[in-house]
Amino acid sequence: MDYDKIIKNIYSEVKHFYPAGKVADYIPELAKVDPDKFGVSLVTVYGEEINAGDCDERFSIQSIAKVFALSMAFSVLGEKIWERVGVEPSGSSFNSIVQLEYEKGKPRNPFINSGALVICDILISKRSDPKAEFLGIVRKLSGRKTINYNLKVAESEKDHGYKNAALINMMKSYGNIINPIEIVLELYYSICSVEMTCTELARIFLPFADLKNKFSCGGFELTKSQIKRINALMLSCGFYDESGEFAFEVGLPGKSGVGGGIAAINPNQYSVAVWSPRINEKGNSALGMKFLERLTTETEDSIF
C-alpha cells in the first residue's frame, strides 16, 4: 500500500476542512498552544516512516501515556493486575464516580483516570523509580533522549486536579490505593506531562502493531497475547465515552489525550500518530479523529 501518497492526500484534504473543537484550557500551559497545529506520522512494521505537517513539534501527550503505564504494570504484575482494575468500558462519563462507589473503588478500566491512578499506585509499590523507568522506555522506543517531563504542566494540573483528588480519595477509602495519595498523584501527573512529537509517538506505539516481536524494553516484557489484550483495551476504552464512536468510525485500537494527540495501531501493518489541539466535547482531537476515519476508509483496512 502506498501509505506515503495516502497520508499526504488525506492530510491536504482534511487540513482545511474541519475547524471544530477548542483547545483544552483548564490549565494555562495547555491553553497557549497554537490551535491550528496539525501533524501526522505513520510508521509501518517494515520500518517505513511517513510524516506530514507539524510532525516534529512536541506536545503534551497526556492520557496517551496511560498505555505505557499499563504496559509496565501488566509486565510486572501479570494477570493479578485485573484484581484491582477492570477491563470494561465505563459507559458515559456522567456516572463515573457513582460507578466507582457502586463497584467498591475498583475502576472499570486502566484508561479512565481512576484506573490510571491505580496503575500508578501499583508501579510505586513494585518499582523503586517508575518515573525514571517510564522516561527510559519512551526514550528508548522513540530513539530520542531529549524527551522529558514538563514539570510546570504536571504541577499546574495537580493544582487544578480536584476531580482526580476526589477519585483517588474515594478509592483510598475502599482500600484500592496503597501508597500515599500525594506520591501517586505526583507520578500520575508527571507521566501525563511528557512531551513528544508525532514521529516519536508513532514510533513508541509500533510494538503494539508489530506482533511478530514481543514487547521488550527497559526491563519490561509483554507477550504477544498480552499486547493483543492491551490493543483490545485500547479499542474498548481508549476514547473515554467516545470509544464506541471511534471503534465504529475508525476501527483501530488507539488512545487519545486532551492535548490533542491520538495514537492508533493497525495490527501487523502500522502505528500512526496525529496531533491537532482542537478537541471535541468528549475530549478527543476533532481533526485527529477525522483524519483517522479517512485513513481506514481510504485504505479499506480496519481491524473489522
Residues that bind its own copies (CB under 8 A): 86-92, 94-95, 97-99, 101-103, 108-109, 162-163, 165-167, 169-170, 172-173, 224-225, 227-229, 231-233, 235-237, 241-245, 247-248, 251, 253, 267, 297, 300, 302-304
CB of 15 or CB of 229, closer to its own copies:
229
Confirm whether 172 is a catalytic residue.
no
Confirm whether 188 is a catalytic residue.
yes
Choose the catalytic residue: 63, 142, 193, 271: 63
Confirm whether 66 is a catalytic residue.
yes
Report the nearest approach of its own copies to the CB of residue 129 (Å): 27
Assess contact for 109 and 89: CB atoms under 8 A.
yes
Report the nearest approach of its own copies to the CB of residue 162 (Å): 4
Conformational region of residue 189, where left means phi above 0, alpha means psi within -120 to 50, and beta covers everything else = alpha
Look at residues 113, 62, 73 and name the one whose alpha carbon lies nearest to residue 263.
62
Choose the catalytic residue: 3, 11, 189, 240: 240
Total residue count of the chain as it appears in this document: 304
Report the nearest approach of its own copies to the CB of residue 118 (Å): 14
Q: In 3-state terms, what secondary structure has residue 119?
A: helix
CB of 117 or CB of 194, closer to its own copies:
117
Choose the catalytic residue: 33, 76, 184, 258: 258
Q: What is the dihedral of CA 275, 92, 231, 64, to 10 degrees?
A: 30
Q: Read off the DSSP letter of residue 45.
A: T
Report the nearest approach of its own copies to the CB of residue 27 (Å): 13
Choose the catalytic residue: 23, 66, 189, 190: 66
Please give the C-alpha separations between residue 129 and each of 70, 122, 269, in angstroms, as whole numbers. 16, 12, 34
Report the nearest approach of its own copies to the CB of residue 170 (Å): 4
- Encode burial over 67-98: b for 16+ CB neighbours within 10 A, e otherwise: bbbbbbbbbbbeeebeebbbeebbeeeeebee
Grid cell for residue 12:
491536504
CB of 155 or CB of 241, closer to its own copies:
241
The DSSP element (H or E) to which 130 belongs, if any, is helix 130-142
Confirm whether 63 is a catalytic residue.
yes
CB of 62 or CB of 266, closer to its own copies:
266
Confirm whether 189 is a catalytic residue.
no
> Catalytic residues, which ones?
63, 66, 188, 240, 258
